[in-house]
A and B are shown apart, each in its own frame.
Chain A
Amino acid sequence: MINWSDKLSTTVKNIPPSGIRRFFDLVTETKGVISLGVGEPDFVTPWHVREACIYSLEKGYTMYTSNWGMLELREEIARSLYHNYKVSYEPANEVLVTVGVSEAMDLALRAVVAFGDEVLVPEPCFVSYGPCTSLAGGIPVPIPTTEDNDFRVTAAQIEEKITPKTKALILSYPNNPTGATISREELMEIAKVVKKHDLIVISDEIYDELTYEGTHTCFASLPAMKSRTILLNGFSKAYAMTGWRLGYACGHPEVISHMTKIHQYTIMCAPITAQMAALEALQNGTDEMKKMVAEYDRRRRLVLKGLGEIGLSCFEPRGAFYAFPSVRNTGMTSEEFAEKLLIEAKVAVVPGNVFGANGEGHIRLSYAASVENLTEAIERMGRFISKSGLRSEDLAASG
């Protein structure tokens, strides 16, 4: 008998399993659940995008593309970034099409992180940043953002964590799981620190279009930041295309060419069918995308008001499609709350600690769900809270 635990790499063994896994099984076993635990749009990809993909298949687009992705798509990506943020990327060597932002993040980290390098990761954040840093041989250094500062990382917090080993900073606004956004002024302060300490910024802006208050600032659009930023974005959220697995990375030709090298040997190229669909999304998808965004915004307001009424204090999310209310006043941990809520009220949410230690005390609730389900789920949560002996007035008062 082979003893796998001796054979497996220590690096991989040391990566903690996804905190969502156990919870996922629990939700799947429970009947009649309304799930607000889903991190993807509830819309299906707009039909014209699907239709364009079907047409491309009929025409026989079934082969590899260039490692970088189709030039036409890279041109369209560059055009859209210029249109939105006035940052200009050269399609020929500054844009790489990837298998989602997931792959782009992995490539970016592997391209810049040397063994023992530190990567600053403001938390709570998307689950992959820490593990991908570790897999690249680096050390993720969490920076806890706080509700007091609306979950925005500050220049001072960043500077505090900088050591001679610090290589890169990951930024992710609008943020999953908090829904936080960040202003241009604050980013300018961060940019000063980045420049002073000669850091690389990996900016995951996958929720950029889903900004409801104010306007999104692309980190690469700040003065002198383009050359030291690896900008990541994709089609999953704005165009409701999660299952297509398509994203991209933009940056200085030198880092992009090294990322392409890894991509070339591990992935070869992103699937052509998805690239064809993405091209259609960028060329003709703005109207439908804006409609989806308007709908998320309505639900965001509905959820925020509902949470207030049942006495869960929640900082106002300004982007993405998540609310991140505090459950501290219930005296329960995030996991206890989420588990009890699931079993007793049949509403699934994700415990906040999954997104970093300082997510403890919060739950993530996705409003990528129908108005009916959101309304019903919040009613159930309200009943659950009052049944648990926590009167909402007390909660609101201490909130």
Chain B
Amino acid sequence: MDQKDREILEVLQDNSRLSFEQIAAMLGMDRQDVENRIKELEEKRIIAKYNSLINWEKAGEDVVSAIIEVKVSPQRGAGFDKLAERIYRFPEVRAVYLMSGRYDFSVLIEGTNMKDVAFFVATKLATIDNVLSTATHFVLKKFKQEGVILEDKEEDRRLVISP
């Protein structure tokens, strides 16, 4: 990782649809060099995925998310990692973070309705060995996600021509 890699990552994080040509032009680099570097960053999984941030609520789809606080007793030898894996392998689980403080894992779950999510927590999550307790917090509204304000009211208000 050098400065050029860092710049490529910054540019891509903001907009992953840029072409190799565009990135090369913007950073004053050779197109082939950009392509090689990106390939390498992908192979190393520094770039883990290219996805879109979708506002499902606006699309009129039913999506329910919940953040689950999970308390566990870590396993001898494996620490938290083995337990985390038991949790994150479920496709319903969108994110898992090990936390400092009152509980251990913060688990983001998505489903189509509250019942689904609650059922998943009760039957799949709470029943994992060494999970001591769970507390489910349903998300009522998403305002900002991944640094993006979902209902941004700031549009281009500039005069179309100015000196």
- Interface positions of A (Cβ within 8 A of B): 18, 20, 23-24, 27-28, 33, 35, 37-40, 42, 44, 126-128, 176, 298-299, 301-302, 305-306, 348, 350, 354, 371, 375
Contacts and interface: CB of A to CB of B under 8 A. Distances in A.
A298 B25 CA distance: 8
B163 interface: yes
Contact of A354 (B25, B27, B154, B163): B163
A126 B25 CA distance: 29
A348 B154 CA distance: 22
B11 to A, nearest CB: 7
Contacts of A42: 156, 158
Main secondary structure of the interface of B (DSSP, over half): loop
B160 A38 contact: yes
B115 to A, nearest CB: 39
A170 to B, nearest CB: 15
A126 B22 CA distance: 31
Contact of B160 (A27, A127, A176): A27
Given A301-B25, A305-B25, A371-B26, A38 B161 contact: yes
B161 A371 contact: no
B158 A20 contact: no
B52 interface: no
27 contacts: A23-B161, A24-B160, A24-B161, A27-B160, A33-B160, A37-B160, A37-B161, A37-B162, A38-B158, A38-B159, A38-B161, A38-B162, A40-B158, A42-B156, A44-B154, A128-B163, A176-B163, A298-B11, A298-B27, A299-B26, A301-B28, A302-B22, A302-B25, A350-B161, A354-B163, A371-B22, A375-B22
A149 B11 CA distance: 34
A23 B163 CA distance: 11
Given A24-B159, A24-B160, 20 more contacts: A20-B162, A23-B161, A24-B161, A27-B161, A33-B160, A35-B160, A35-B161, A37-B160, A38-B159, A38-B160, A38-B161, A40-B162, A42-B156, A126-B163, A128-B163, A298-B26, A301-B25, A301-B26, A348-B161, A371-B18
Interface string B18-36: 1000100111100000000
- Interface bin, chain B: 10 to 19
B16 interface: no
A263 B28 CA distance: 45
Most buried by A among B15, B161, B163: B161
A33 B161 CA distance: 11
Nearest to B10: A294
Most buried by B among A23, A126, A305: A305
B163 A371 contact: no
A156 to B, nearest CB: 29
A42 B154 CA distance: 11
Contacts of A28: 160
Contact of B163 (A20, A299, A375): A20
A176 B28 CA distance: 23
A85 B11 CA distance: 31
Contacts of B159: 24, 38
A366 to B, nearest CB: 9
B23 to A, nearest CB: 9
A85 B162 CA distance: 30
Contacts of B161: 20, 23-24, 27, 35, 37-38, 348, 350
A303 B37 CA distance: 23
Contacts of A37: 160-162
A108 B156 CA distance: 33
Contacts of B15: 371
Contact of A301 (B27, B154, B160, B162): B27
A33 B26 CA distance: 24
Interface string B29-65: 0000000000000000000000000000000000000
Nearest to B162: A39
Most buried by B among A28, A128, A301: A301
Most buried by A among B11, B156, B159: B159
A294 to B, nearest CB: 9
Contacts of A350: 161, 163
Interface in B131-163: 154, 156, 158-163
A125 to B, nearest CB: 10
A143 B161 CA distance: 26
Most buried by B among A39, A302, A350: A302
A267 B18 CA distance: 47
A64 to B, nearest CB: 29
A128 B158 CA distance: 20
Contacts of B158: 38, 40, 42
B162 to A, nearest CB: 4
A40 B159 CA distance: 9
Contacts of A375: 22
Interface string B94-129: 000000000000000000000000000000000000
Contacts of A33: 160
